[in-house]
Structure 1
Amino acid sequence: MTERVYNVLFLCTGNTARSILAEGILRKDGAGRFNAFSAGSQPKGVINPFAIKTLAEYDYPTEGFRSKNWEEFAAPGAPVMDFVFTVCDNAAGEVCPIWPGQPMTAHWGIEDPAAVEGTDIEKQRAFNLAFRYLKTRISLLLATPIARLDKLKLKARLREIGEAEGATHGHKTEA
């Protein structure tokens, strides 16, 4: 019996860095088991070049990303999400659209690498750290026996993953 393929949406405010990194990581590491998407509540319309550079340096996909509004995924005909993860505290605190299919949600907040000011080396270090934190969370998701857990246990597991190393604590959701 083959397990179904799950749709996952990573949300952030600008959809330029953290959500793009998460989409790229899950796209590769979860291939065949997960479809990865990302969006923002107030997308900037561009991808941070350090996000693409970081994905490339770790041998992850760099093509096909675009900064888009989360409303795209609440519209008729959009892929129905199984999971929606906020990766920034601002998006976690915003009123999200009503997602078709009532996906499971969790907050997986980490610090914004795009907010780091300084040299390119300091900026790249912040992106590498964000990549590592997101890769850890996604690895934990991939190791979770989703089909064998009831809804309450799965929700608790998703929340626990969000508390992994590097978690921000600016906002906790009970979505």
Structure 2
Amino acid sequence: MRFTLLAALVMLAVGVAAQTGFFERFATPMAVNVIAANPRPTPSGPVVLDAGPGGHFFVDAAVAGRSVRFMVDTGASLVVLSAETARRLDIRPTAADFSGVSRTANGTVRFAPVRLADIRVGAIRIMGVDAAVLPDGASDTDLLGMSFLGRLGGFRSDGRTMVLAP
């Protein structure tokens, strides 16, 4: 008897939740944490990226006019440059410049905070972007983080494509 009553209450709760749209919140695609691909050209509107292998989004961007391949990462607070990329961009922090500390899945890493003149992705250009330069050996992947993405008109992803709005 108790089992039947409990089963009836569970079914009632599930029915009410379904009627009120409770489950839709969990079914809606969310922006992936790590976003990969080359931008499809659009004249002056949004930039559309196609997911690459592993579902990551990569984009070829210009930093102060020089080409940089970024992995889009909505979980990164800042744009992140490897030491090698920073050198290609003539950014050469001294040991004393590595004053920032970040906790990552791989542990704690020091970084040198910098401000990039601009980053251009397709027709989108954002000026004065805060970034972090990592020390040699910390990473060879450059990340397009929220210090760029958060200044866009918006961005969204369904897991297969990502749209960056100016």
TM-score with structure 2 setting the length: 0.28
Relative CO higher for 1 or 2, CA cutoff 8 Å, sep ≥ 6? 2
Greater strand share, structure number: 2
TM-score, normalised by the number of residues in structure 1: 0.27
